[in-house]
Homo-oligomer: A and B are copies of this chain.
Amino acid sequence: MIIPSIINRRSIRKFQNKPVPEKLVNEVIKAAQFAPTSRDNRLVEFVVVNNPETKKKIYEAAIPPQEFLLKAPVLVIPVTDPSKTNQPVQDISLATANIFLQAAELGLGTVWKNLKPPAAGEIKKILKIPEEYLIINIIPLGYPAETPDPHTDDYFQPDKIHPETW
């Protein structure tokens, strides 16, 4: 049986105006810290934004700006030090996957908001993240105000499984 949160996780871009208890935010980040990292470096850190003014600045710096950056009660930004891991993008991605699934388990919605330069640099300045660190995404976190259907077997693509060779 597929893990229920893998089935139920869908990208959520609309959030209820309802705070997320800090305990749940920490549980989601704990799950992220249980994800593997390159050579077990465990260097991914997390900025957690609740402040509406900071969210507004992030919204204005993002390309494109998206309303969920303002309206999600919490924004989580994973950060790592690319001078200390060989796979910074992979480390952040695996941590993010656990955030997605643990959030779904707790009834919370998420989406991968992608960041590239120059927006990533601007947002590092807003969050006082040192320039040499890497951010690649923002994860809004909140109670969903939309209910996309869970995944079903219709979403399974067995033709993308290649036995033995391509």
A: residues with CB less than 8 A from B are 1-3, 5-7, 9, 11, 26-27, 29-31, 33-36, 38, 40, 42, 44-51, 54, 79, 86-87, 89-90, 93-94, 96-98, 100-102, 105, 111-112, 114, 127-130, 136-137, 151, 153, 155-158, 160-166
A93 touches B97 (CB 8 A): yes
Q: Determine whether the beta carbon of B2 is less than 8 Å from that of A155.
A: no
Query: What residues of B have a CB within 8 angstroms of the CB of A3 in the complex?
Result: 3, 5, 31, 101-102, 105
By DSSP majority rule, is chain A's interface helix, strand, loop, or mixed? mixed
Which residue of B49, B90, B101, B151 contacts A136 across the interface (Cβ within 8 Å)?
A: B90
Contacts of A79 in B (CB 8 A): 166
Contact A31–B46 (Cβ < 8 Å): no
Given contacts A162-B45, A165-B47, contact A86 B102 (CB under 8 A): no
> In the assembly, how many copies of this chain are there?
2
Docked CA distance A94–B47 (Å):
21
Partner among B9, B36, B90, B162 whose Cβ is within 8 Å of the Cβ of A48: B162
Asked whether A29 lies within 8 Å of B105 as measured between CB atoms, the reply is: no
Residues in B with CB closer than 8 Å to A34 are 2, 6-7, 9, 151, 155
- What would 17 A/B residue contacts be, using CB atoms closer than 8 Å? A2-B30, A3-B101, A6-B31, A9-B34, A33-B157, A34-B155, A44-B160, A45-B162, A47-B164, A48-B164, A50-B164, A79-B166, A89-B90, A90-B93, A90-B137, A97-B97, A97-B98
When chains A and B are docked, how far (Å) is the Cα of A26 from the Cα of B2?
Answer: 11
B161 touching A29, Cβ below 8 Å: yes
